[in-house]
């Protein structure tokens, strides 16, 4: 199964594509969709949407996983990220794909076994699970890879298999 993980943002949207077969995972590609800081916000959303459509067409994922938003202290930034996430979700649906959302704590728990894991712990476990010498950059791409790995683990669980048979 080809899984595309997405870490949404309006300045940088990270993506990571993995191949998951019988519990074995391989990184196929990763990177980031970026938009210029000085551009009109609606133009930035259009860039993200068009780049996401192109990424989906090129990568041909079987499943897409995206990080659910977490509004910390900066709600203003969160609103912009929410709008970016919206155009990403639209592109995914228009491509005919289902999307699964994961909270940051779910991703951490799935990979590290601890919902309050640090960024360093997450990246180290991601690197180990994929047998990489070093973690890909930027951090947004690394986060997206972790989201894809979380989905690989969640979608192959016994519970997920049992639910799909109902």
Residue pair 68/100 in contact (Cβ under 8 Å)? The answer is no
Residues with catalytic annotation?
7, 67, 140
User: Within 10 Å of residue 128's Cβ, how many Cβ atoms?
Assistant: 10
Tell me if residue 149 falls in helix, strand or coil.
Answer: helix
d(CA 16, CA 40): 27
The kind and range of the H/E element at 13 are strand 12-21
């Amino acid at each position: 199964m080809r899984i595309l993980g997405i870490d949404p943002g309006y300045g940088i949207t990270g993506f990571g594509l993995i191949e998951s077969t019988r519990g074995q995972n391989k990184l196929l590609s990763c990177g980031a969709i970026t938009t210029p800081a000085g551009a009109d916000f609606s133009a930035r959303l259009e860039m993200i949407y068009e780049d996401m459509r192109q990424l989906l067409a090129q990568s041909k994922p079987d499943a897409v996983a995206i990080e659910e938003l977490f509004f910390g202290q900066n709600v203003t930034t969160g609103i912009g990220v929410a709008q970016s996430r919206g155009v990403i979700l639209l592109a995914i649906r228009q491509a005919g794909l289902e999307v699964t959302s994961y909270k940051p704590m779910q991703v951490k728990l799935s990979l590290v076994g601890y919902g309050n894991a640090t960024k360093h712990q997450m990246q180290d476990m991601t690197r180990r699970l994929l047998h990489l010498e070093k973690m890909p950059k930027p951090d947004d791409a690394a986060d997206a890879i972790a989201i894809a790995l979380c989905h690989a683990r969640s979608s192959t669980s016994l519970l997920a298999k049992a639910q799909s048979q109902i």
